[in-house]
Structures are given as structure tokens and as C-alpha cells.
């Protein structure tokens, strides 16, 4: 059976590749043979410690890495959307007088003419939690009503949702296992945010007034979502740390140069005066005029005064120029 020359060459190449791969795997096994020994510790700093028989490749990729204490990163804690920190509610429900009658009896003439005992029994203190909650909702909506019969305006609706949200937030704080209340709270917060976003587009002045009156903080959704990743955050922190080190080194270098300015100006002034005297002795036009010398003297005087103001305890040697 005949075989072409190309076929023979391809078989030889495949055989050589198999032999080379076997050599590589044999060398790797020999290099990582120490890792499979029970209780082996490599390095004086204890960066890599192996106990028991493990796979060499698995141990190699799972060794501990020492991170510098100067650059630390912690994954930010997730804030639930139902908390006031995320919803933007900066305060709680308004306080109501428990001796006041419920909203149903406020305009009743019989209640107003009743005795003090009847008024105390029919007060909010002895009513159900639903009545007290409704009284708080009415107290909050009263702040933004346009008129006495206003029940349909956007301001009243937002105030009513805000009161319900804050009441549910107090409820979920006391009873965190109530999942139905958490689900309802999340839906109402999203619905209120949607309406406030629309109001912000249509009437920004009214939107600002609502935020100020109800003590709210509007947090719009970000335009793009960016994942929180450890490597990316470490790169940012490293770049920030590098910039801080650069700035610190530059400031130290500037301080070192500023501390040498007085000596440099004195040396400069004496050198300029010596050059001028030598040029006059040889009958050459001086390279520096009196204005140049006076300018250096004035700069030196100002620098000495500045140094005395900054460090009054260290008196700088004064000279008359």
C-alpha cells in the first residue's frame, strides 16, 4: 500500500509533537513534585503552604497572594432598595397628636359637644393602627394641597405615596420577615420615582418644591450600569495611590528647593557682583545692570521676610544690601 510523501511528513510532525508534549508534562510533574508532599511550606514569608496530597496544578493556581497594606479594597455592601438610604426619604412620618379625634370625627358637631371622657376614648390613642396611619397620611398631604378639596393633584399623590412608603419602612424594620410588605414597598418606591421623574421633566420648580416640602432626595437611575470588579477597582486604587505618591514627592522636592532659595539668592547676588567688578576692571561693559542687582536684592529681602513669618522661631540671618 503506497503512501504519499506529504502524508509521511505530517505523520512525522505529529509524532514529534506528541514526544515534545510528553517531555513538557514530565518536566512540569518534576517541578511540582514538592507540592504534593504532606505539610510542605515554601518560602520564608509563608505565602505558599500546602497540607496533604493535592494536585500540583490546582495548588499552583490557588496559592495565597500577599496584598500590600497600602492599597486595600473591600467589596461595597449592597444597600436594599427598600431602605431610606436608597429610596431618598430623609425623614420619617409626621408626628400627630394622639388626643386628636380621627379624621372621620373631626367635623362632627356631636363630637365637639361631647364630654372630655368621650373625646379621650374616641381619640387616636384608642383607635386602630389604620386610623393613626390615615391621620399621618392626611397630615402629610395637607402640606402640599392646593386647596381644601384637592385629592387628585400630582403633589397630593406623591405625598400620599411617600407616607405609605415611610410607614412600610417602619413596618419592615420591625418585621423583616414580612416579604409581602417588602414587595409592595419596592413597587410603590419605583412607581413614585417614575412619577417624580415625569414631574421633573414637566415642571422643575414644582419638583424642587416637592422635594423640599416632603424632605426627599431624588436619585435617578444611572445611564449605564458598571459592574463592581475587584481587579478593576484595584487598578483604580493603584493609579490613585501612584498619583498621591507623585504629588507627595513633588511637594517634598518643592519644599527642599524653597528651603535652599535664600542661600541660592545670596550666592547668585555675590556671583553677579563679582562678575560686574571683574568686567569693570577689564574695561568691559558689565553684563548685569544695577536694575538686575536690585531685583535680586528685592527678591532676597522678600524671601527672608516670608521665611520669618512662616518660622518665627528660626530667625534668618539678615544682611544689608
Calpha distance 232→75 (Å, rounded): 12
Neighbours of 232 (CB within 10 A): 12
Model confidence band, residue 94 (pLDDT cutoffs 50, 70, 90)? confident
* Helix, strand, coil percentages in the chain from 3-state DSSP, rounded to 5: 60, 0, 35
Q: Say what the pLDDT of residue 126 is.
A: 80
Question: Residues 96-114: pLDDT tens digits?
Answer: 878 787 877 777 778 778 8
Residue 16 reports pLDDT greater than 90: no
Average pLDDT of the residues in 157-178: 93
Residue ranges per structural domain of the chain: 5-61, 84-214, 230-310
Model confidence band, residue 117 (pLDDT cutoffs 50, 70, 90)? confident
DSSP string across 105-122: GTT-HHHHTS-HHHHHHT
**49: three-class secondary structure by DSSP:** strand
Residue 85 reports pLDDT greater than 60: yes
**7: three-class secondary structure by DSSP:** helix
Average pLDDT of the residues in 203-215: 93
Residue 39 reports pLDDT greater than 80: no
Q: Say what the pLDDT of residue 12 is.
A: 54
Q: What cell does 209 get?
A: 418644591
How high does pLDDT run on average in the chain?
A: 79
Q: Say what the pLDDT of residue 71 is.
A: 83
Calpha distance 211→39 (Å, rounded): 64
Q: Please provide the size of the chain in residues.
A: 321
Calpha distance 206→155 (Å, rounded): 9
Q: Say what the pLDDT of residue 99 is.
A: 79
Phi-psi region of 37 (alpha: psi -120 to 50; beta: other; left: phi over 0): beta
Residue 157 reports pLDDT greater than 60: yes
Q: Who's near 262: CB < 8 A, 6+ residues apart?
A: 300, 303, 304, 307, 316
pLDDT > 90: percent of the chain: 28
Burial level of 87, CB count in 10 A (0-12/13-18/19+)?
buried
Selected residue with higher pLDDT from 7 and 252: 252
Q: Tell which residue, 201, 87, 186, has the closest CA to residue 154.
A: 201
Model confidence band, residue 129 (pLDDT cutoffs 50, 70, 90)? confident
**pTM score, whole prediction:** 0.57
Amino acid at each position: 500500500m503506497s503512501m504519499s510523501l506529504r502524508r509521511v511528513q505530517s505523520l512525522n510532525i505529529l509524532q514529534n509533537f506528541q514526544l515534545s508534549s510528553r517531555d513538557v508534562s514530565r518536566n512540569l510533574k518534576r517541578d511540582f513534585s514538592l507540592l504534593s508532599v504532606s505539610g510542605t511550606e515554601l518560602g520564608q514569608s509563608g505565602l505558599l503552604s500546602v497540607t496533604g496530597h493535592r494536585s500540583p496544578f490546582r495548588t499552583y493556581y490557588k496559592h495565597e497572594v500577599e496584598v500590600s497594606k497600602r492599597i486595600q479594597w473591600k467589596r461595597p455592601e449592597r444597600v436594599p432598595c427598600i431602605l431610606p438610604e436608597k429610596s431618598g426619604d430623609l425623614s420619617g412620618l409626621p408626628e400627630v397628636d394622639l388626643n386628636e379625634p380621627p379624621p372621620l370625627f373631626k367635623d362632627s358637631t356631636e363630637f365637639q359637644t361631647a364630654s372630655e371622657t368621650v373625646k379621650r376614648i374616641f381619640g387616636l390613642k384608642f383607635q386602630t393602627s389604620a386610623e393613626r396611619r390615615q391621620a399621618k397620611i392626611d397630615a402629610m398631604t395637607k402640606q402640599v394641597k392646593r386647596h381644601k378639596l384637592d385629592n387628585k393633584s400630582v403633589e397630593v399623590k406623591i405625598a400620599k405615596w411617600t407616607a405609605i412608603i415611610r410607614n412600610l419602612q417602619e413596618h419592615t424594620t420591625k418585621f423583616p420577615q414580612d416579604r409581602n410588605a417588602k414587595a409592595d414597598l419596592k413597587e410603590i418606591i419605583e412607581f413614585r420615582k417614575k412619577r417624580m421623574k415625569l414631574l421633573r421633566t414637566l415642571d422643575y420648580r414644582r419638583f424642587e418644591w416637592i422635594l423640599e416640602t416632603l424632605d426627599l432626595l431624588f436619585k435617578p437611575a444611572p445611564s449605564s450600569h458598571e459592574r463592581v470588579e475587584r481587579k478593576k477597582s484595584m487598578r483604580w486604587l493603584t493609579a490613585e495611590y501612584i498619583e498621591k505618591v507623585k504629588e507627595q514627592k513633588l511637594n517634598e522636592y518643592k519644599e527642599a528647593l524653597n528651603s535652599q532659595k535664600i542661600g541660592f539668592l545670596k550666592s547668585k547676588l555675590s556671583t553677579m557682583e563679582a562678575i560686574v567688578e571683574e568686567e569693570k576692571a577689564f574695561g568691559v561693559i558689565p553684563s548685569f545692570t544695577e536694575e538686575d542687582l536690585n531685583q535680586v536684592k528685592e527678591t532676597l529681602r522678600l524671601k527672608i521676610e516670608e521665611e520669618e513669618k512662616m518660622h518665627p522661631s528660626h530667625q534668618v540671618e539678615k544682611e544689608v544690601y
